[in-house]
Structure 1
Amino acid sequence: MLEATTQPPGPAARCSGALFSPWSRLALLVVLLACAATGLVVYEPQHLLADGWPPRFSGLPAAGVFAVGYGLCTAALVPRTLLNLGAGALFGPMLGLGAALGGTVVGAAIAFALGRGLGQAALRPLLRGRWLLAADRQLSRHGFRSMIAVRLAPGLPFALANYCAAVSRVRWTPFLIATALGSVPNTAAYVVAGSEASSPTSPAFLLSAGFIALTGIAAAFLAWRARGRAAARTPDPAVEDPLPTPVPSRHSI
């Protein structure tokens, strides 16, 4: 009875396996982000914030286009601060808040889809260390509660949080709902500040500026505490444990 022999994969199968391997997809994600960042530098979309929209293009259609552009920019690692200020300056506090929150959800969904589809398979096996594993378990088991805390926490980069969440096992629905709800306070403060930038002495501008300042101080304090705790846990390499004193045996007496 002849035994079945397995033939080695041909060149086409090897090429296909290498093309769709986890590391190839991760490389594609890096290339896409690099191309998006280059496009932002070349085309300079910030001129829209300075010059404004065309006079005939305003209202809900303009806010919808702004939300889509906002999402694409945040997925390309553009800070939300500038976009939130621009939303308030272009559309006012109410419509600007809606456009900014819509763009926040769009950007989070784009980044989550890219990170989950192109980066998760390559990066999950690299999760090492107690803190990374604990954060991954927290996001995987308590996705909604964890993402609410991430969005409310001051100073955490929005795009980085999106891609890190994509590497975890958090589900789509809790991720997007928590993003929409948790981003309201910070987004509203910047949108109101942008809408009232021409009146820096108005109560609305002062309240929003005060809220932004408090969140900045809180972020600096939390970073200082985290650094202090990390330094306390790290042993000093200059201090070495003394060598144990050898105990003489009865044969050496």
Structure 2
Amino acid sequence: MRRGRVTTAQAVRAGLLVALVLTGLVVALTVDLPSVTVVRGWLADAGAWGWVGLIALSALATLAPVPRTALSVLAGVVAGFWGGLAVAWVSGVLGAAAGYGLARALGRDTVERLAGPRLARADAALSGRGFLATVLGRLTPVAPFTLVSYAAGLSGIRWSAYLAGSALGLLPGTVLHVGIGATVGSTGGGWTLLVSAVPLVVVVVVAVVLTRRRRLQRSTPL
């Protein structure tokens, strides 16, 4: 893969991607959110379509560089534990898919032109590891949701591996944050916080075990 000049079409697509991200950020910072009471009333009146609309709006919000943790907590406050979990997890997976698709369609060609061999080496390193890399990216608290989505779309990670990794990697944090929101909103009772902490504990234990195993493998002579 050789580096080359970016064509006009590629520059336009990359510019469009940047414009979409900036537009989402501006909207997120300037639009006033309705109160919890208003949203709950809207969900009660709209029925199933209300839930579909809430999932769609939440998925769109994840395309902007805003903390997804806050969205999950708000989902728990508004919809309770189980309803909030469904909204936050489904919208997160949909938002992850949309972010990947936008980056792949609008920015991949430009990155190939600019990065050249460096991108080829990165793709080779991720070959066969896309699922694990995505899971780890989603589990890492300091990794912004939007950044992981767009970076995966610009990389060589396959769609199926990315989507499966996102679905799995988003679940523990989503359960925890929705549980916090449900507890604050007094819609699920205090037990939700305890239940939601279980996946986090499991993830920490698994991470410790895998880290120790990797260290042992590195220290063991061949």
TM over 0.5: yes
Correspondent of 2:151 among 140, 164, 168:
164
Cα distance in 1 for partners of 2:117, 2:200 equals: 34
* Residue identity opposite 2:17 in structure 1: L
Alignment of 1:173-252 (within 5 A): 173-198=160-185, 202-205=190-193, 208=196
Higher RCO (CA-CA < 8 Å; seq separation 6+): 2
**Counterparts of 2:30 and 2:63, CA distance in 1:** 17
SS in 2 for 1:196: helix
Deviation of 1:184 (Å): 0.6
Distance in 1 separating the partners of 2:24 and 2:69: 18
Give the equivalent residue in structure 1 for 2:217.
Answer: none
Question: For residue 135 of structure 2, what is the amino acid of its counterpart?
Answer: I
Q: 2:77 — aligned with what?
A: 89
Greater Rg by CA: 1
User: 1:108 aligns to what?
Assistant: 96
Q: What are the superposed Cα offsets for residues 37-66 of structure 1, whole Å, 9 maximum, x if unpaired?
A: 22233332x325474233543654322211
Query: Which residue is 2:62 aligned to?
Result: 74
| Equivalent-residue separation in structure 2 for 1:208 and 1:188 (angstroms) | 5
TM-score, normalised to structure 1, is 0.66
Change in Cα spacing, 1:81 to 1:129, as seen in structure 2 (3 Å) is farther
Q: 5+ unaligned residues in a row in structure 2: which ranges?
A: 1-6, 204-222
- After superposition, the Cα gap between the structure-2 partners of 1:210 and 1:109, relative to the gap in structure 1 and judged at 3 Å, is closer
Q: Which amino acid aligns with 1:187?
A: T
Alpha-carbon separation, structure 2, partners of 1:100 and 1:204: 15
TM-score w.r.t. structure 2 length? 0.74
Separation (CA, whole Å) in 2 of partners of 1:123 and 1:136: 12
Alpha-carbon offset, residue 69 of structure 1: 0.7
Which AA in structure 2 matches 1:154? P
- For residue 219 of structure 2, what is the aligned residue in structure 1? none
- Equivalence for 1:34: 22
- What is the alpha-carbon distance in structure 2 between the residues aligned to residue 114 and residue 179 of structure 1? 16
Q: What CA distance in whole angstroms lies between the structure 1 residues aligned with 2:191 and 2:121?
A: 43
Q: Are residues 79 and 57 of structure 1, via their aligned partners in 2, closer, same or farther at CA, if it must alter by over 3 Å?
A: farther
Query: Structure 1 residues 22-31 or 157-166, which shifts more?
Result: 22-31
Name the CA distance, whole Å, in 2 between partners of 1:49 and 1:139: 42
Are 1:99 and 2:76 counterparts?
no
Aligned residues: 196
Distance 2:155 2:146 in 1: 15
Provide the aligned C-alpha RMSD in A.
3.2
Question: Which residue number corresponds to residue 136 of structure 2?
Answer: 149
Aligned match of 1:123: 111
Pair 54,166 (structure 1): closer, same or farther in 2 beyond 3 Å: same
**How far apart, in 1, do the equivalents of 2:121 and 2:194 lie?**
39
SS at match of 2:156: coil
Query: Whole-Å Cα distance in 2 between the matches of residues 153 and 67 of structure 1?
Result: 23
* Residues in 2 aligned to 1:210 and 1:178: alpha-carbon distance in whole angstroms: 20
